[in-house]
């Protein structure tokens, strides 16, 4: 193996840069060249290449986003698009490709291996934490910390003015961010796609907490479950609090990665190149019980990781 390619693809996630750095440095220290393609799969099709040396990835670990930029590429979903991509990969002498991204990006990687026998390794990076067979994806921890920090500030005002804050967070299909940040913040309730919302029961819960002396109310809402405005409309006349709505939006994806994400991304990048060098490919690097795992891409993509509902039960008890 002489030369590997690397891309970041799909939704960006904090820690992607730390993964690029680890891939580049691990490879270069072992005498392998690294070519980065800008903008994910569309950069492979358009041949937007950059050679990455040891020095090129200095000072990027602490930066949010991705220096290789990212995009969504519809063309790559077609056989013709993948043929074009493969032609460029061959012409650039790429022996293997490391793909850093979410479920869609890893699916694309698996197709490259299946259709063209290109050795690929995937690194799971998505704030949704919905990828099977890895306990954590790169970016999740930073996202949660951002949500907790922002919501903590809202909680101060909620207490001062005895208000309810309805905080909408990302998660179109998964309630992971809403639930986990809700636990970390002590939210009164979480509204997530995995659980049908019962506004009557929710209002009763909030009223009971108020009777127990609670002077604020934070409700975390995953965008895929309901809009914060809908939740407010259903609750404000029933709960006796003035309500305020905050939609955190894209601040959740940005920012300097936490130590956890930097370390996870470093381990995964290092492991991805080490796996390729030992002849392993068509895999995703996962975190399982604290250790790096080689998960066949097919297994990683066989289903979405379901939300662990024991956390939901716990959140109801603790808030």
Q: Mind telling me the catalytic residues?
A: 128
Given phi > 0 = left and psi -120 to 50 = alpha, else beta, which region is 58?
A: beta
Closest approach of ligand ADP to the CB of residue 103, in Å: 4
In degrees and rounded to multiples of 5, residue 245 shows phi and psi of -115, 135
Among candidate residues 31, 35, 25, the one with its CA nearest the CA of residue 4? 35
The yes or no reply on residue 9 touching ligand ADP (CB under 6 A) is yes
3-state helix, strand, coil split of the chain in percent (to 5) is 45, 20, 35
Q: Is the separation of the CB atoms in 297 and 103 below 8 Å?
A: no
Q: Which of residues 123-142 bind ligand ADP (CB under 6 A)?
A: 126
Q: Which of residues 20-49 bind ligand ADP (CB under 6 A)?
A: 41
Q: Which is nearer to ligand ADP, 77 or 163 (CB)?
A: 77
Binding mask 52-91 for ligand ADP (x = CB under 6 A): --------------------xx--xx--------------
Interface residue with ligand ADP among 5, 10, 119, 124 (CB under 6 A) is 10
Q: Which is nearer to ligand ADP, 45 or 232 (CB)?
A: 45
Interface residue with ligand ADP among 5, 14, 43, 102 (CB under 6 A) is 102
The CB-nearest residue to ligand ADP is 104
The yes or no reply on residue 101 touching ligand ADP (CB under 6 A) is yes
Q: Which is nearer to ligand ADP, 12 or 188 (CB)?
A: 12
- Residue 177 to residue 169: CA distance in whole angstroms: 7
- Buried b vs exposed e over 152-169: b needs ≥16 C-beta within 10 Å? eebbeebeeeebbbbbbb
The yes or no reply on residue 151 touching ligand ADP (CB under 6 A) is no
Range in contact with ligand ADP (rule: CB under 6 A) among 97-105, 193-201, 216-224, 291-299 = 97-105
Give how far the C-alpha of residue 271 lies from the chain's centroid of Cα atoms, to the nearest Å. Answer: 19
One DSSP character per residue, 104-122 reads HHHHHHHHHHHHH---EEE
- Residue 128 to residue 138: CA distance in whole angstroms: 10
Footprint on this chain of ligand ADP (rule: CB under 6 A): 9-11, 41, 72-73, 76-77, 101-105, 107-108, 111, 126
């Amino acid at each position: 193996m002489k030369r590997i390619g690397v891309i970041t693809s799909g939704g960006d996630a904090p820690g992607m840069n730390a993964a690029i750095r680890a891939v580049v440095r691990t490879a270069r220290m072992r005498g392998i060249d690294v070519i980065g393609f800008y903008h994910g799969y569309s950069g492979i099709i358009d041949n937007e290449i950059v050679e990455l040396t040891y020095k090129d990835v200095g000072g990027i670990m602490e930066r949010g986003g991705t220096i290789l930029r990212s995009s969504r590429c519809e063309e790559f979903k077609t056989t013709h698009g993948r043929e074009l991509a493969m032609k460029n990969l061959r012409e650039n002498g790429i022996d293997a490709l490391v793909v850093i991204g979410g479920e869609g990006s890893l699916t694309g990687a698996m197709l490259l291996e299946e259709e063209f026998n290109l050795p690929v390794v995937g690194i799971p990076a998505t704030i949704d934490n919905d990828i099977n067979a890895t306990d954590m994806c790169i970016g999740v921890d930073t996202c949660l910390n951002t949500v907790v920090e922002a919501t903590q500030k809202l909680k101060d005002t909620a207490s001062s003015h005895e208000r309810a804050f309805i905080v909408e967070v990302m998660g179109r299909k998964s309630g992971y961010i809403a639930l986990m940040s809700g636990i970390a913040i002590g939210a009164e309730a979480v509204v997530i796609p995995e659980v049908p919302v019962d506004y009557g029961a929710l209002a009763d819960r909030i009223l009971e907490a108020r009777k127990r002396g609670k002077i604020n109310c934070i409700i975390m809402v995953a965008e895929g479950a309901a809009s914060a405005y809908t939740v407010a409309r259903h609750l404000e006349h029933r709960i006796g609090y003035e309500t305020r709505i905050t939609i955190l939006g894209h601040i959740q994806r940005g920012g300097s990665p936490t130590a956890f994400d930097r370390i996870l991304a470093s381990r995964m990048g290092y492991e991805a190149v080490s796996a390729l060098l030992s002849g392993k490919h068509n895999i995703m690097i996962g975190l399982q019980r604290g250790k790096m795992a080689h998960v066949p891409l097919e297994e990683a993509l066989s289903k979405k990781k379901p939300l662990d509902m024991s956390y939901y039960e716990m959140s109801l008890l603790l808030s």
